[in-house]
Structure 1
């Protein structure tokens, strides 16, 4: 029988339309590919091929990797950041191939013994979801899938700050992750113009970092809402630990159920990605209704850097099935449109794409350093899932495929004026940099 590796590599190079700078090793011990390659893709069994055969796109590759049927020896960054290695395979549409090419692929897989029924997806995969998209019940279920996997797990990746959003690297790359997260929270507080005695609502408060920071350093009374039970429980404990329980309330509550406005300011940091395009106008209107006239909303969200038609792409993806079920990345233009339809005046927008890439690289480093403990806490499959997710996210931000923006909007007063200072320097400091 012919060695498997050269045959496997030939199929993938045919799909990619050229040579691939990786080595391939297969279950029979055979290898193929350039000896100079620093990364090897290991097909531990024929099931890895069957997973890809039944889902010949990024989902099939992800299933093979998450399950452990396919492994990577070497730096995953180098594999994903090569000359579009993964994209040349994962994004290929098999309908572009002729019958002879498809027949050749099929005969190779048959010869390798890789033809058979579709393997069961890894247990972590979310496919069927109950209820209408972005209903309260379904949102609670998919949020729990992502966030309720153990606070200790998140602490290992995020560090002591427990902030699961883009840091602000005002001190440069020489600063620490904790510095960047402190500076991000402070930047939000200053953009919102927080002062002692104000009421702040933090929508999607996570583990409470923003309400705690705002109460401790700006003297506000803050309410944080989350629909993650584990976030809620730890956030309340951290509020007590920080000594601000008299000024911070953490609620297990959907943002659509908040009714106790008005608030002087609202922060929404890394939350509106869960809202969805169809719900965005209602979300913006709800936030506007909770603000007093002249009150400010800061919406910090990852954005799609693509036409809106692409942002609505609904084909199964690794992120949707494993990381953020029902999550939607919308173009900045769509977010601005939603805020303005709600009667809010957009006063400032800051792009932080490079800042998120730096933040993610620190999270990847934390995951790698704590790999043994992470596997103990959540299992090898989930650890691989997160390594793939975080690594791919780094590259998506660095290459400009997705972005992240802080949009500051204001509810106009009775005469329409927002009352916001005329320059950034008046709320960020004399030089406008904080």
Structure 2
């Protein structure tokens, strides 16, 4: 019948309602094979009515994310092109949190679901979704350990496929886009050691040590003795194995330990690379005071952290990132982070370096590695887990490129002791 609306037509209307746009920048393929949307646009395939049902119950990024993780929505073209198209219109085009659909849009969404036979009970979330409700109050030691385990204890083999031999899970430092990920990660590790002013025999505390890469670099290249701490059992096991393989067990100790439990200071230097995002706004002042107390007078702290550049944030447990990637994580702005780290003058800021573009390059490299090793990554974890990492890393790369997110290294010192160099040339 002429003018009859296809499944894809109705799905396009439903997604437009969720995104808050009249011009969908994607081409949709329905579960019946019908297609709607502008020719040549990236194709999003909706493989199941369950995907539409998820949007009825959670009409925003969480519903879309759940459907993608569950395999009910699939990306048929380049993941970056697809997400860039989504971010170009409607509610996703505005920096900050995605605004919920209006009551009118939600009513239209329900009507579409009725016509397509998608109404029913709320589907169970995919198994990869975090549930920390039984782990105590937010940022208690028990709950922080559970949050870290959710993200990092997903299999060392999986991370090795994504990160490569460097096993560094934070922003690399690129001399140029052609540098290559492994060389860029080594450059970052060396930059951290230079900023901390490490010399032979210095004692370094690496808070959130990951798989031990910085500890090994600092001991091998600078003669430091290192205590590395993590809350991830799997990270610690592999870090210890890597330390033993390079013959550094006499210089490096890897512990499963909360930073609040360390009592064997002082240290000459402290590195916190990609860790303070897990601390939370309310816990930043005691975090800064604790690290201050663990430093000797004149000792340096390097805090390397992602920043939210799109205005003031409040913790929201119902975002895709909070449910699937970094439960209880919280991004602060650079100014707020510096203020909390200074903590009334207890720590003195020596240097701030922005690395926003570097993280976009790093994330794109990780996505390329994940996609190149897709079958192995799925075998090492789960189809849903691989989808989570692909979605979050690609979306974050675009957020760094747009300036919505940044990443900064803040170098501080505990007052006293020897004076720092007059110019930053000493570590650049």
> Which bracket does the TM-score occupy, shorter chain normalised?
over 0.9
Q: Secondary structure at the match of 2:210?
A: coil
Secondary structure of 1:299's aligned partner: strand
Look up the match of 2:262.
258
CA distance in 1, matches of 2:154, 2:90: 30
Measured against aligned partners, the alpha-carbon deviations of 1:363-405 in whole angstroms (never above 9, x if no partner) come to: 0110010001011111211111111011011101111111110
Judge conservation of contact 1:200–1:223 (CA < 8 Å) in 2.
Answer: yes
Q: TM-score, normalised by structure 1?
A: 0.93
State the match for 2:227 in structure 1: 223
Provide the rounded CA distance (Å) in 2 between the counterparts of 1:194 and 1:269. Answer: 16
Task: Report the equivalent of 2:335.
Answer: 333
Question: Closer, same or farther in 2 for the Cα pair 1:173/1:103, shift >3 Å?
Answer: closer
- Measure the CA separation in 2 of the matches of 1:340 and 1:178: 33
What pairs with 1:12-411 in structure 2 (closer than 5 Å)? 12-15=15-18, 16-37=20-41, 39-82=42-85, 84-85=87-88, 88=91, 91-95=98-102, 97-98=103-104, 102-129=106-133, 130-170=135-175, 172-308=176-312, 311-341=313-343, 343-411=346-414
Give the drift of 1:80. Answer: 0.6
Counterpart Cα distance in 2 of 1:104 and 1:179:
51
Offset of residue 409 of structure 1 = 0.4
Report the 3-state secondary structure (helix = DSSP H, G, I; strand = E; otherwise coil) of the residue aligned with 1:94.
coil
**How many residues get paired?**
418
Query: Which stretch shows the higher mean deviation, 195-204 or 80-89?
Result: 80-89
How big is the alpha-carbon RMSD for the aligned residues of Structure 1 and Structure 2? 1.7
Q: Which residue of 2 aligns with 1:421?
A: 421
Please list every run of 5 or more consecutive structure 2 residues that lacks an aligned counterpart in the other structure.
none
Structure 1 residues 237-291: Cα deviation after superposition (integer angstroms, max 9, x where no partner): 1111122211111111111111111111000000111111111000000000000
Contact 1:191/1:408 (CA < 8 Å) preserved in 2?
A: yes
Displacement of 1:102: 4.7
Contact 1:80 1:86 in 2 (8 A): no
Distance in 1 (alpha carbons) for counterparts of 2:206 and 2:326: 21
Shift in Å, 1:315 = 5.0
Give the whole-Å Cα distance in 2 for the aligned partners of 1:235 and 1:105.
49
Contact 2:316-2:322 within 8 A present in 1 as well: no
Deviation at 1:14, TM superposition (A): 4.5
User: In structure 1, what is the Cα distance between the partners aligned to 2:403 and 2:262?
Assistant: 35
SS at match of 2:398: helix
Quote the offset at 1:350 in angstroms: 0.3
Following the alignment from structure 2 to structure 1, what is the Cα–Cα distance between the partners of residues 376 and 254? 29
SS of the equivalent of 2:304 reads strand
Per-residue deviation, 1:338: 1.6
2:17/2:106 contact within 8 Å kept = no
Deviates more, 1:379-388 or 1:331-340: 331-340
Distance in 2 (alpha carbons) for counterparts of 1:271 and 1:86: 33
CA distance in 1 between counterparts of 2:294 and 2:87 reads: 46
Question: Is the CA contact (8 Å cut-off) linking 2:200 and 2:223 kept in structure 1?
Answer: yes
> How far off is 1:84 after superposition?
2.5
- Aligned with 2:297: secondary structure? strand
Task: Normalising by structure 2, report the TM-score.
Answer: 0.94
| Offset from partner CA, 1:314-341 (integer Å, 9 cap, x none) | 2510000001100011111222112211
* Long gaps (5+) in structure 1: none
SS of the residue aligned with 2:245? helix
